[in-house]
Amino acid sequence: MSIQKPPLSPYGEFIGVSIDDYAEGKATCSVVLEDHHLNNGGRVHGGVLTSLADTAAGAAVRSVRPPGKFSATTDLATAFVRPPTGATLVAKAEVVHVGRQLFRVEIVIFSEKKLVAKTNATFMIVEPLQKG
């Protein structure tokens, strides 16, 4: 059963990510690829896949972190399996460990239902930034 989707970060909106499914400990996000997502060789820039994975992982963590708390990525490692060939990337994130301060997340990214990247991430509870 899905729960209320969180708002996207300004960066997520900037690169065109959408949160397609959101449940406790899980999130599915996607991005429709455009020319500005490509590198000079015409392939999807690795940063797009990494940003999509980070956004999906962050959404999944948000669903299980304590109310009123914030979190930030402390570690993110992506293995690129094959170049994407489709027009859309889909990332599926699942929180696999919930600790008092740390969360571990596994993310897989697909293009045309083929695995294109695998990511592992760690998030940590942080205090909100003081503005000013």
The CATH class that applies to domain 10-126 reads: alpha beta
Cα–Cα dist 81/99, whole Å: 29
Q: What is the mean pLDDT of residues 42-59?
A: 97
pLDDT of residue 2: 55
What is the pTM assigned to this prediction? 0.93
Q: What is the mean pLDDT of residues 52-68?
A: 95
DSSP 8-state secondary structure symbol assigned to residue 37: G
Rounded to the nearest 10 degrees, how much is the dihedral formed by the CA atoms of 50, 119, 54, 27? 130
Q: What is the mean pLDDT of residues 72-96?
A: 97
What tens digit of pLDDT does each residue of 4-34 get? 888 888 999 999 999 999 999 999 999 999 9
The values of phi and psi at residue 16, to 5°, are 90, 25
The structure tokens listed for 14 are 């900037």
pLDDT of residue 4: 83
| Mean pLDDT, the chain, whole residue set | 94
What number of other Cβ atoms are within 10 A of residue 110's Cβ?
A: 19
